[in-house]
Each structure stands twice: as C-alpha cells, then as structure tokens.
Structure 1
C-alpha cells in the first residue's frame, strides 16, 4: 500500500490529549521519525499468501475454544494420554483468557513428568533424576543459587512438617 492510498488523519492533536507526550504521533506522518523508511519491501508488494496444505491428522489434537477450526499445521509429538491427557482435555473446555485453563495445563505438565517417571520404571529404566534436573551442573556452575534453593526448599519442608504436626494435636 503506497502513501497516496493511506487515509490521512487530522494533523491537529485535540487539546484534551495534548498533555500526553507522544499522543497522536501517528496522526501526522511528518511527526513519525521512521515514516520515510516505512514502506513495503519490493519483494513483498503484491505477494499473495496461500493457505498451506492441511496436515493429516492421525493423533488427537486439542482445540481452543477461541479457534475451533483446526489449524493447517500442528504438533503431533506428544498427543494427550493418561491422567495428564484427561487434565488437558478438561483444561481446553475453558477459554484461554481463563486462569483455570492455564493452571490446569501447568498441573497436567507436572503430572506428565510423574507419568514419565512411572513409564521409565515400568520399562526397567531407573531415571537419574538429579542429572535430568541439572542439579550437578547447577551445583558446579551456579553454587550460590543452588544453595539458596536447597535452603528455601528445606525451610519449606520443615514448615510443612511443623504445620502437619500442629494439626494433629
């Protein structure tokens, strides 16, 4: 779109907005420092965007309520399964602007980690949790943060134990 076809807005800033620094900078193109450089690159002018060929769906794909139509391309590496899959299906009943949607998805991720550990144990593989979490590397390369995390986790554990004991009494 060239400058001749752009709709020119009024040049004057209304008095009630004049006190706001920068308000109305987009009204007059002369007030925009980068305006002379803002133009469509020649290689994109007149380009037509075509919808990609839809990907074949051979696994369950969860759809957002905001975008109920299937997107042409989507990930298939980890289809929902088990308890975490049930949680994900439940989360997608809520809108993406609902905190429940995201909190349930975060919880489903944590459940998926536990399911993965169970799957490893079921196959006879004992996971090296410390190496997989990067504890050795953090101890070696970021010792102050590691010590802080251990101290905070220990304090939280002690507080939980004390709280549980006080509830029994």
Structure 2
C-alpha cells in the first residue's frame, strides 16, 4: 500500500500537525502552574433582567451579560418555551426553535398587516436578485409553494363524503 502521507502531499496544509515538534496542543499539554492564575477572576456585575430570558437547562444561572431584543411572545414564544425544556444536545430543543423562527416570521407579517403596512415580500426575500441570477430556481420554488399551499387548502376545505 502506498504511503498515505505521500498520497495527499499535493493538498496545501495536509499533515501540518503530523510533526510532534509542531504540536498545536502544546499549551494544553505542557503548562506551568502559574498559567492557571488567569482563571481566577472576579465575576462582572449581573445585567438586569427586565424581559423574559429563555435559558438552557444546562446553565444554573444567567451569564453576567446576555442579549435579547424582544421577550418571547405569541405562538412562537410558546414554542420557544417548550424547546428550552430540553437539553441543547436533543432534537427536541433545536427543531422547535427552527419552527418558532418560521412562526415568528408569519406573526411579523400579520403584525405588519394589522398596523396597515403591506410588506414587500418580493424585495425582502431577495427575489429580484434570484430572478436575475437563478430564474429557474425561483420559478421552481414559487411553483412548489403554490402547489403545496393549494394541496393543503384543498385538503382542509374538502367536504366529507356522507354515506
């Protein structure tokens, strides 16, 4: 069998960590006792919490500084609260968060319409650029969406056959 290293030498950077004298884990393997002094630090002042902050179940407390723009609200907020009942290593955490983002987008559209603002979905979704650079993909995407929406609408509004 051919030497594995020789087989891939044409790839830039291949085997860069094979030389033990150039070991990237060096600082973690060999450290001086004084190097751990930097781990002892004073915790910053806790940021005030004036809105609901959803928190991972792996963390016992909020970090000193956190970011949130809007408290969870509506159906998307309920989905997010449900997601944070699960560990971050579980699909039950991430999939509902993805769904909550999509639901939140629809809630934003409804909120815009309530306030009398008609959103320019064509511009906001970047369809002008997609029409210019990928017209077949855009037509396929729109046709698929229309087909699925029509099928769902037909299924929901069908009349039950009474026999």
Alignment TM class, shorter chain as reference: 0.5 to 0.7
1:36 to 1:105, Cα distance in 2 relative to 1, 3 A: closer
Q: TM-score, normalised by structure 1?
A: 0.64
1:54 pairs with 23, 46, 54, which one? 46
More helix per residue: 2
1:102 pairs with 90, 94, 100, which one? 94
| 1:92 Cα offset (Å) | 0.9
Say whether residues 1:80 and 2:72 are aligned partners. yes
1:117 pairs with 89, 109, 112, which one? 109
Other-structure match for 1:18: none
| 1:145 Cα offset (Å) | 2.8
Stretches of 4+ aligned residues off by more than 6 angstroms: 165-169
Q: CA RMSD in A?
A: 3.5
Residue by residue over 1:121-146, the C-alpha shift from the partner in whole angstroms, topping out at 9 and shown as x without a partner, is 11111111111111122111333432
Structure 2 unmatched runs, 5+: 6-17, 29-33
Q: Distance in 2 between matches of 1:37 and 1:95?
A: 30
Q: TM-score, normalised by structure 2?
A: 0.66
Other-structure match for 1:35: 23
Q: Give the number of equivalent residue pairs.
A: 138
Say whether residues 1:129 and 2:117 are aligned partners. no
1:126 to 1:64, Cα distance in 2 relative to 1, 3 A: same
